[in-house]
Structure 1
Amino acid sequence: MSVDAVKNPAGNEADEPLPGDLRMARTLWPVLLASAVGLLPFTVFSTYLVPIADEAGSGVAAMGGLRGLGGLAALLVGTALAPLIDRVPRRWAVAGGLAALGLSSALGASGDFLLLAVFCLLVGASTSVLNPALTAAAADRFGTGRAAGRAATLVTATQSMTAMLAAPVIALPALIWGWRGDLFAVTVLSLLLAVVFVLRREDTSVADETASGGQRLGYIASFRALGAVRGVVPLLLIALLRTAVFMGYLSYLAAFYEERFDLDAGLFAFVWTLSGASFFVSNLLTGRLTNAAEPRLGTERLLFIGLLAALVSVVGFYFTHWLPLALALTSLHAASHAVVAACAVSLVVRRCGPGLRGAALGINAAGMSLGVFVGAALGGAGLGLAGYPGVAAVFGALVVAAVGAAVLVLRAGPARKEAEAA
């Protein structure tokens, strides 16, 4: 099978009218629900870190360090299994990820330190397969054109909404059954959704048909094929760098507001809500606008503009001493990252056909896991060496590198031209 055939089996980018969001949501409800459930285990772990550490007879620092195991597992497993996501039916990949997620949550509910370590490893490993499989499955349901890109961004928008609302959602039930009950609830939801995906045979996609009996690329050939798709490697690099900047920035956000504006944890919660809401709304709207039938601005150009906004907002943020301006820059920075995230996912989905889409999204997820570590480490180094101006310099340099990668994406040409060339 040729690389071109894998890139876009249809030979062109579909021009079908873009379905409404509600229609897409009704079609994709199991995918969207599963993407939300995938964020819950680590949200419970982070929210109830202190009582979990007490139960395990461990210090908070040691218990919190276990979270890093999840990121490490996501990086290694996500990279290793990325090409395999396209070699099995999507519903089986999703069901397997959900089953592993449910098992990990049950182990975490034990409160044992060793089992909590296994919990962190399994959650990281399972989500490294689950998230790209869900995004690819959503895109596959709507072909290879802009509707596929919009479906993929609906998954990311749902995840950003869940990240914003998950803490209060899990906190209320925990008043009745505690953090263990939350994890057991995740176990039940995960296993029920796994059954739903196994039984939904009518959702067989192009990728499922290929995995069931058609020709497919080998393991190493999948990596080579990804490298041959114009613009995809720079897009994956942008995702890594963007994540490093945003997650590193969030790691030190509370400390910055406390030190410079004397905001305590209670007041800072409103700042966090502002950032989360800005990201969600921007991600949702960008996914819709960039995948419209006749977008006013090309996705590649909007990606470039989003990175420029991220550069201005992250550098300016660390030099402001006026609270209203800091809040405005916080909102702008979150919104600009949401624009970049939605554009990058849309372009990856539209440039890679169903036979290569899962591998691209898997590597994208693994790169983002790496970005979390890179951002926190480099941000801490900048803070230690030169204070907040050092943080601004580090994150600014990372965004500049992402802007350089965006230039390569622009030079590769629009996704439509890539599809027509195939």
Structure 2
Amino acid sequence: MGKLESTVPGLSYPSARDGALKTGIDFLDGRRKDDGAEGLWRIGNKLYDLSQFIKNHPGGSEWIALTEGTDITEAFQVHHLTDRAERLLPKFYIHDASTPRCIPLTFQPNGFYKKFKARALKALEGVDIHRPSPRTNMIADMLLAGTIISCLTASATRAWPAIIVSAMFLTWLSVTAHNYLHMRNNFRMFYMDLCLMSSNDWRITHVLSHHLYPNTIWDYEVYSVEPFLSWLPLKNKTIMSRILSLIYSPIIYTLTYVMQGTKRYYVALTKVDLHPQDLIPFILPLAMCTVSESIGAAFATWTTIIFLSSFYFGYTGFNAAHHHPDIFHDGDICRKDLDWALLELDAVRDRYLIDSSLFLTLTNFGTHTLHHLLPTVDHDYLRRCWPALKETCEEFNIPFKKMTQWELTKGQFQQLLRNEPKTFVS
């Protein structure tokens, strides 16, 4: 796509965007080139050495180990609701950074995000914000059981109703597992690995990229599917490429699992970056072989389930919250206030009906705005924070908008066709 100039003032071009394969490892390698962290951890304009804290990090060592040599300002601010982590920082301070930040987003004490977070924390009093609710765990575990039982049934019978039900269960399980990826290390986040996608890679590409910089040139989930799907309103999008994107969409949906699975094992084998969870995708097909008439029949059934589930997952994810002509995309004229939360509000929409049910929320990427603002909080507890968000929106005169699933589905295709920028309020 060439080097694009972001319309977010001061947002630099990310090196990772030019990678041929576009993996999570590429994203982090690009950040190490761009962030001026000098091999340490950058927060704001200060550099810290967190190497001695890796094993003691309450959220798990992986978060700190992954981000060594990068700017973690946004992740640090958003992943810690209390001020405990901030109070610990001075003991790890090394020196000030010698280069300015390549990301201009702010967290001012009187800005939108800080005020909202304080209200949200008050709304969550009495809740263990570091753990999922029993209801969420029950739904996730029931979806796991439903996935295994339906897949075994499909393998034994090769009946289309069983195959379709299996695909639905696997999709619901994978989306629900996404809720756990943002939290401290837990075994339920590995439920996602059953569908070929990597929970480890998603912690990078989804949590550390998409969630922190949605719909910008830094958003992995935007640039990883370019040039086939180009959501940014670029004037150089030709009529042919815009029309072809409508045809590519269902193909991308169907191949999402396979493409990410291929990247997963390519990186694991070429970079010798194997993880125990890389064995999890083999559990379902191996189990299905035990009840099938043959290994070939089991593999054919599993493959069919994978492609059907991938289509459902792709449709759900790409049409859930971010792509519509009335939603900010890099290339549009953004607001002057660069408070991080305001970018999130401009780049996200919630949906009617989906947000009214915990099951629908967990299985359809629901409660999307609150989840972006408070990603580590379990979806079951997020609903307590609606009044805090409403109050803060009213204080800053920010309209809060919801859409129907149909509006977002239709709007996603309209966004693929759009090449004229819009102006978002200052």
- Give the structure, 1 or 2, with the largest relative contact order (CA under 8 Å, sep 6 or more): 1
Q: Pick the structure with more helix per residue.
A: 1
Using structure 1 for the length normalisation, give the TM-score: 0.33
Using structure 2 for the length normalisation, give the TM-score: 0.32
